[in-house]
């Protein structure tokens, strides 16, 4: 992951089509186009896993069914705990088969329709439910040395709790961290960088103008009347966190993609 | 096993509107989905097929656009679908609907098991499954929460009720209606969705299934709806609990107990 930061490789989020899409063919084409643009640009495509609990197709099945090329340094799959054991292993085996090595392991939002891994499914003992920690342990145990595993960090959660969780995530095998979106210098992220100087940290930049969604993500209300310029915020994040990578959430491929190539300016 | 799963397309809303003239649910302009309880029926059918071999056929009665829910069921593992669609079916109550479905099941032939969701979220009657069993004169078990075994033309199921469950043995062919405790429906794969888009759904009309005209549609429906109105929306109230974490936890448990929620 250091390599990504040193070579200014953006992590670009791509959302697969939703399960209830009424224009599936068009959505698949759009996904394939976005993926191709990310590959051509040398960035890393980060494919979400039922983001916000919305039922969507899996990143691995998108790559398989659309026969998309995988360049190992350029693909990251999100993986949450809302799967059956069978489905989890299928995803992991497809990743190995396709050469996908980067996984972002998260607990996930879930929904009524999604099955949740049970501790007994993945040999987790002494816990009542499966979180990203148990999932990391399982992957590291059953798929040793096959993946580079990352985890999420939420600077808006109670700090002590979040750092305690992070400790367990690192102990379970996480080797890189991606934050929730930040829109300014964040003291909790600063502490994270101080505490884990050897772990690559990627800060999330919010590229959408939909502030209500950003409010949901950060956990406090950002007034809709706030002037928000995603590109300016992105440039600012590079200045504040020059040693971090950047994950671009909800990037506008039509209006923003061509603008980002000049945004990663070193000090 | 030859398994038929009866499914229904319903409005995707909790805010149902009712036509004051016809007393029927207004479906125009509403997004339509597969009845959530039917997803459990489809999943159970597919699981039984995977265990015992055979075929899962999904059927539905409705307008041409109801084909979408058949495709969805096929993408979730059903083998094929049949749409029962004709103007003559319009206005059918649960008795006439179950008659039409029963006639279709007879036409399919050699069916071992029929599975339905416990009820549809639009009508909430829970009558169609039992109605099919009555028309076919087959054994039935409603509110099934588990299929324990299938052996020698017998099926053993757990049937949920308020105080627990009954274990019932039924002779096949039989009709089951299932509750959501029975399984966790799989999420359709992209491969399944793409394959389902290419599948061809035959449309059967009354003459295809030998349905008698006076037993279908309004003519075949003994039910007369005299008045329908949506229920009052549920009143919600937010309570903010303050204090130390221990105090908050205690207060929360107390509030939940007062409402018999724990």
To the nearest whole Å, the CA of A115 is away from the closest chain B CA by: 6
Q: How many percent of chain B have pLDDT more than 70?
A: 95
CA A64 to chain centre: 20
**Percent of chain A scoring above 90 in pLDDT:** 75
For residue A210, CA distances in Å to A257, B12, B252 come to 17, 26, 34
Q: pLDDT category, B13, cuts 50, 70, 90?
A: low
Q: Which residues of A touch B193 (CB under 8 A)?
A: 19, 24, 57
Contact present, A53 and A109 (Cβ < 8 Å): yes
B223 has a chain A CB within 8 A of its CB? no
pLDDT at B222 over 70: yes
Regarding predicted confidence, which is higher, B175 or B238?
B175
Distance of residue A6 Cα from the nearest chain B Cα, in angstroms: 36
Domain boundaries, chain B: 2-215
Q: What is the pLDDT of residues A55-71, one digit of tens each?
A: 899 999 999 999 999 99
* pLDDT tier, A266 (very low <50, low <70, confident <90, very high otherwise): low
- What 3-state DSSP class applies to A176? strand
Any chain A CB within 8 A of the CB of B77?
Answer: no
For residue A267, being part of any structural domain is answered with no
Cβ distance B190 to A113 less than 8 Å, yes or no, reads no
pTM over 0.90: no
Q: How far is CA B208 from CA A7, A47, B108, B114, B201, in A?
A: 67, 48, 11, 20, 14
Name the CATH superfamily housing domain B2-215.
Answer: HUPs (3.40.50.620)
Q: Which among A239, A170, A248, A251 has a CA at the least distance from the CA of A208?
A: A251
Interface touch B190/A55, C-beta < 8 Å: no
* Residues of B with Cβ-Cβ distance to A24 under 8 angstroms: 193-194, 197
- CA angle (B20 as vertex; B18, B23 as ends), nearest 5: 65
- The CATH number assigned to the domain holding A16 equals 3.20.20.220
Closest CA–CA distance from residue B72 to any residue of chain A (Å):
9
Q: How confident is the model at residue B27 (pLDDT cuts 50, 70, 90)?
A: low
Domain that holds residue A48: 2-262
> Structurally, how many domains does chain A consist of?
1
Domain annotation covers residue A178: yes
- CA-closest candidate to residue A54, choices A80, A33, A93: A80
Q: Is A20 on the interface with B (CB under 8 A)?
A: yes
Instruction: Please judge whether A55 and B187 are an interchain contact, meaning their C-beta atoms are less than 8 angstroms apart.
Output: yes
Pick from B188, B191, B197: CB nearest A19: B188
| Candidate from A112-116, B73-77, B116-120, B217-221 with smallest mean pLDDT | A112-116
Read off φ and ψ for residue A249, nearest 5 degrees.
-90, 135
Per-residue pLDDT reduced to its tens digit, B88-141? 999 888 999 999 999 999 999 999 999 999 988 887 788 899 999 999 999 999
Inter-chain contacts counted by CB atoms under 8 A, chains A and B = 27
* pLDDT value of position B125: 85
Q: Which residues of B touch A84 (CB under 8 A)?
A: 184, 186
């Amino acid at each position: 992951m250091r390599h990504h930061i040193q070579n200014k490789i953006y992590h670009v989020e791509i959302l697969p089509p939703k399960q209830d899409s009424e224009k599936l063919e068009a959505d698949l084409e759009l996904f394939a186009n976005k993926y191709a643009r990310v590959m051509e640009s040398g960035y890393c495509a980060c494919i979400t896993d039922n983001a916000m609990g919305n039922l969507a197709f899996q990143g691995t099945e998108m790559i398989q069914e659309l026969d998309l090329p995988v360049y190992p340094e350029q693909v990251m799959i999100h993986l949450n705990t809302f799967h059956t054991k069978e489905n989890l292993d299928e995803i992991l085996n497809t990743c190995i088969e396709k050469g996908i090595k980067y996984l972002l392991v998260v607990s996930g939002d879930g929904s009524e329709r999604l099955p949740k891994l049970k501790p007994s499914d993945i040999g987790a003992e002494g816990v009542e439910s499966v979180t990203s920690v148990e999932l990391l342990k399982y992957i590291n145990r059953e798929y040793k040395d096959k993946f580079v595993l990352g985890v999420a960090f939420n600077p808006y959660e109670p700090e002590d709790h979040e750092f305690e969780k992070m400790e367990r995530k690192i102990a379970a095998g996480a080797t890189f961290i991606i934050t929730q979106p930040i829109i300014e210098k964040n003291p909790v992220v600063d502490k994270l960088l101080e505490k884990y100087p050897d772990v690559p940290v990627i800060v999330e930049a919010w590229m959408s103008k939909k502030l209500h969604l950003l409010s949901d993500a950060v956990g406090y209300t950002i007034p809709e009347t706030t002037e928000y310029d995603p590109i300016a915020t992105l440039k600012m994040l590079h200045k504040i966190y020059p040693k971090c990578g950047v994950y671009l959430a909800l990037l506008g491929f039509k209006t923003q993609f061509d603008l980002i190539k000049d945004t990663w300016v070193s000090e | 096993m030859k398994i038929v799963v009866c499914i229904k397309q319903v409005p995707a809303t909790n805010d149902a509107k009712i036509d004051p003239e016809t007393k029927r649910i207004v479906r125009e302009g509403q997004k339509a989905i597969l009845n959530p309880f039917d997803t459990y029926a489809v999943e159970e059918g597919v699981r039984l097929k995977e265990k015992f071999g055979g075929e899962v056929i999904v059927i539905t009665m409705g307008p041409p656009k109801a084909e979408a829910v058949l495709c969805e069921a096929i993408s979730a593992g059903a083998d094929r679908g049949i749409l029962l669609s004709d103007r003559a079916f319009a206005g059918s109550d649960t008795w006439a609907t179950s008659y039409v479905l029963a006639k279709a099941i007879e036409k399919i032939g050699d069916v071992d098991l029929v599975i339905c969701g416990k009820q549809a979220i639009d009508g909430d009657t829970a009558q169609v499954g039992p109605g099919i069993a009555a028309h076919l004169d087959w054994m039935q078990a409603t509110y099934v929460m588990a299929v324990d075994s299938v052996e020698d033309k017998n099926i053993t199921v757990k049937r949920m009720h308020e105080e627990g469950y009954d274990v019932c043995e039924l002779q096949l062919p039989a009709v089951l209606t299932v509750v959501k405790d029975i399984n966790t429906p799989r999420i359709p794969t992209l491969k399944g969705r793409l394959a389902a888009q290419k599948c061809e759904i035959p449309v059967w009309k009354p003459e295809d299934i030998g349905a008698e005209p006076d037993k279908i549609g309004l003519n075949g429906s003994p039910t007369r709806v005299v008045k329908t109105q949506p229920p009052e929306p549920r009143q919600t109230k937010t309570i903010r609990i303050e204090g130390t974490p221990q105090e908050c936890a205690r207060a929360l448990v107390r509030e939940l107990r007062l409402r018999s929620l724990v």
